[in-house]
Amino acid sequence: MSIEKNLKKIRVQIPENVQLVCVSKFQPNKAILEAYHLGERIFGESRVQELCEKQKSLPGDIQWHFIGHLQTNKVKYIVPFVDLIHAVDSFRLLEEIDRNARKIGRVVRCLLEIHIARESSKFGFLPEQLIEMLKGEGWKNLHNVQICGLMGMATYTDNQTQIRQEFRNLKLLYDQLKDSFFSNEASFRELSIGMSNDFQIAIEEGSTIVRLGTCIFGERNCTVIT
């Protein structure tokens, strides 16, 4: 199926209040431009070097989201242009993003990654850990990051009940944190859940951002990089 046909099929399934991030990791610039010319502006990448190369050679009005695990020593490369960092999984990383953003006078939007899956990802805060961090006041002094919500990945499984339960738990946590720590922060409003195999469930459970790769671009060829 073509990118155009795939996008047509997907767009009708995504409500207006849910943002589509086209996950373009391992996809060539040609594929990104095809989606761009069909109207897409938000693209997600998971590796710093690949993102930086693509950002330099593709249209300037693309909003680049970093969706992968981010190492603190690579923060400086993406802070100048990144629109949203999805997977902040430690206070140290948040501090490092803040420090780099302050140097260049930017405020960088971030999501906190929660470990919800039983096995899929080893990254992310445990809910208790995150609550501990938020109880500490340290994060409030980081004026060059804006915490916009939570991100999570469900277990990679065919068990839809399990996926739904994981998303539901994350939405409950999101509501609880919003109430306890961000009730005056209008910008805390995003829940980044849903990938190609589970985005319909994620939308039903309250997703505001879905991250779709395979169902738009087809299978990734992980050995060929643009």
Q: Which residues bind ligand PLP (CB under 6 A)?
A: 23, 25, 46, 67-68, 153, 195-197, 211-215
Q: How many CB atoms lie within 10 A of CB 33?
A: 15
> What's the CA gap between 193 and 153, in Å, rounded?
6
222: left (phi over 0), alpha (psi -120 to 50) or beta: alpha
Using alpha carbons, select from 19, 12, 2 the residue that is nearest to residue 148: 19
Residue 66 C-beta: closest distance to ligand PLP, Å: 10
Q: Which residue is nearest to ligand PLP (CB)?
A: 213
- Provide CB contacts within 8 A for 136, sequence distance 6+: none
Report the residue number, 159 or 214, with the smaller CB distance to ligand PLP.
214
Q: Which is nearer to ligand PLP, 157 or 197 (CB)?
A: 197
Using the CB atoms, write b or e for 179-188: b if 16+ within 10 Å: eebbeeeeeb
The CB-of-105 to ligand PLP minimum distance in angstroms stands at 29
Query: 150 vs 215, which CB is nearer to ligand PLP?
Result: 215
How many helices and strands in the chain, by DSSP H and E?
A: 9, 8
Residue 84 Cβ, how far from ligand PLP at the closest point, in Å?
A: 12
Shortest Cβ 119–ligand PLP spacing (Å):
15
142 vs 153 by CB, closer to ligand PLP: 153
Least distance to ligand PLP from the beta carbon of 213, Å? 3
Cβ within 8 Å of residue 103, ≥6 positions away: none
Pick 55 or 207: Cβ nearer ligand PLP: 207
Collapsing DSSP to helix, strand or coil, 214 comes out as: helix
